[in-house]
Copies of this chain bind each other. A is one copy, B any other.
Amino acid sequence: MQKISHPVYYADYLQLERLLSSQSPKSAEHGKPAHDETLFIIVHQAYELWFKLIIHELDSVIHLFEGNYVDEKNIGVAVSRFSRITEIQKLLIDQIRILETMTPLDFLEFRDFLFPASGFQSVQFRLIENMLGLQPEQRMLYNKEAYYASVSAEHQEIIRQSEGKPSLFKLVELWLERTPFLDFHEFHFWPSYRAAVEKILQNDRDTILNNPLSSAEEKQKQLQELAQNEENFAAVFDEAKHNQLIEKARRRLSHKATEAALLIHLYRDEPILHLPFRLLTLLVDLDELFTTWRYRHALMVHRMIGNKIGTGGSTGYHYLRATVERYKVFGDFIDLSTFLIPRSALPELPEKVKKNLGFYYSQKSDE
């Protein structure tokens, strides 16, 4: 592994001459240099560098999940790359604190010189959203225009193209739908799960009705709660109802993929399901961290410009705050918790199935 080529120099390798000469404060151009504009530029440049890295990581995972088959080895790779993205996201959130060392008054020294540039014009951030699987119909209008309207024609083209490509959401959904374990030998997950849930709900009803400690009023209230739980479950048991919720955009994940995701959560201790479980958990982490980032970002903008209109012409804080909840991508994976049941109530797996969920070696070392 000895190195044969010309010696590499740190500054050349990192292209520091370019990198460190790419900060041109507008305030200086206008003859009114504002100390904090350097901070402002560098914070945003750091964001864009990290966005590039997130795209690099997402791109590689999307590539692993394309096609009709995902090698088990690649689940571990995807888990590592998603973990990396979550570490980057934590940094992106903390980085807001650095921007907040600039006071609103200091921002005013150069804010008008930036008109109408805005973080809203970050092409890379739009690409990340689309790669994850944010849907065009989830988007809010921005000053009565599409979310890409404020960028250049060339950039619009890039963003529009990304809308058409298979997203992480879609590829994970397809991968889940291919899970062979939903009906596997004599094991049929969905009816077993349903029976277990129904037993729990019946048991809950009996306990409420026969509880000598609770008053009629309390029983009434508890039965109402139980009824809501039953309704939740009914919506997931009945594929037709599930599909209606999808049409109303209240669900997104297909029924079959939902079944598979539940199976993975409930039997995650089986070796073959452990890494898939971690992968699903990381999708929730990714969503939670982007959501947190959006919310912190909205708070920061509020602090910086109050209720003024943003440099990009948006109504600033209120627009940003409204996107926070709307722009979740993996909400269905978070909602899965609604349908989990305790391990002790889970149907026992048949021995033959268990064997198939373990490692080959651990079964028959002599083969």
Residue in contact with A116 in the complex, picked from B7, B101, B207, B363, CB distance below 8 Å: B7
- Interface members, chain A 201-254 (any B CB < 8 Å): 203-208, 211, 213, 221-222, 225-226, 228-229, 232
Chain A contacts to B: CB under 8 angstroms: 1-16, 18-20, 22-24, 26, 30, 32, 35, 38-39, 41-42, 44-46, 48-50, 52-53, 56, 60, 72-73, 76-77, 80, 83-84, 87-88, 90-91, 94-95, 97-98, 101, 103-105, 108-109, 112-124, 151-152, 155, 180, 200, 203-208, 211, 213, 221-222, 225-226, 228-229, 232, 265-266, 268-272, 274-275, 281, 284, 288, 291-292, 295-296, 299, 302-309, 313, 321, 325, 334-345, 355-363, 365, 367
Contact A14 B1 (CB under 8 A): no
CB atoms of B365 and A360 under 8 A apart: no
* Contact of A121 with B49 in the complex, beta carbons under 8 Å: no
Copies of the protein in its oligomer: 4
Closest to A284 in B: B303
The answer to whether A4 and B211 have CB atoms under 8 Å apart is yes
How many Å lie between the Cα of A87 and that of B342 in the bound state? Answer: 25
Knowing A19-B19, A23-B52, A232-B307, say if A359 contacts B271 (CB, 8 Å).
Answer: yes
Ranked nearest first, the 8 interchain pairs of A and B with the lowest CB-CB distance are: A306-B338, A306-B337, A10-B121, A2-B207, A2-B204, A360-B360, A3-B115, A104-B337
Task: Report if A87-B97 is in contact (Cβ < 8 Å); known contacts: A1-B203, A8-B116, A105-B340.
Answer: yes
Q: List B contacts of A60 (CB < 8 A).
A: 35
Residues of chain B with a CB closer than 8 A to A367's CB: 356
Q: Can you list 8 pairs linking A and B with CB atoms under 8 Å apart? A: A12-B117, A105-B265, A108-B343, A109-B342, A232-B307, A305-B337, A356-B360, A356-B365
